[in-house]
Amino acid sequence: ARALLDKALPEEDPALLAALIAGLTDENPGPWQYPANFLPARLRETVAAFKKSIKKLVSALKKHEFAVPDYSFQGSLAVYEWATTGDFDRATEIFGKGVGDLVRLVLMTVEHLSQFGSLVEECPTLGQTARIARNLLIKEPIT
C-alpha cells in the first residue's frame, strides 16, 4: 500500500511490474552473483524507488522483530528476462535454480499480479498493467 501511495510501482510498464513483484515473491533468494550494472537501468531504478518507498516500513517491522525477507534480484531479473524476451532458458540461467523453481516463481508472481489486476476500479492504470503483465508471463512452457 505504501508503494502504491508513493507511486513507486511501475504503473505503465507490465514487464517492470512483473519483475518487481517477482523479486518480492521469491521465497528463497540467493546471494546476488552478478555485478550491479548487470541489471538493466530501468529495472535497477524501479527497484531502488520501491525500496526507498518502503524503507520506513521495513525498519519498523525489523525493529519489532518481524522477519523481512531479502529482495530477490535474481528472481526479479529472471522474470524480467522472461517477460521481455521470452527466452526461458536464459531466464532459468539467470535465476540460478532449477526449471521447476522458476516455473513456481512465475506462477506465484502471476497470482500476485492477479490481485493487482482486481484493482481495476480503484487504480485503473495499475490494474490494467498488472493484467497485461500476467499475460506476458503465461506462455509456453508456462501455461
Task: Report the predicted TM-score, pTM, of the whole model to 2 decimal places.
Answer: 0.91
Residues 6 or more apart whose CB falls under 8 angstroms from that of 42 comprise 13, 16
**Span 85-101, mean pLDDT?**
95
In the numeric block, which cell numbers belong to residue 125? 492504470
Other beta carbons within 10 Å of 90: 13
- Is there a contact between 80 and 15 (Cβ–Cβ < 8 Å)? yes
- Is there a contact between 81 and 87 (Cβ–Cβ < 8 Å)? yes
> pLDDT confidence of 82, banded at 50, 70, 90?
very high
Q: Evaluate if residue 122 carries a pLDDT over 80.
A: yes
Q: Evaluate if residue 16 carries a pLDDT over 80.
A: yes
Q: What is the pLDDT of residues 17-72, one digit of tens each?
A: 999 999 999 988 877 777 778 889 999 999 999 989 889 989 999 999 998 888 89
Q: Cα-atom radius of gyration of the chain, to the nearest Å?
A: 15
β-bridge mates for residue 142, sequence order = 139
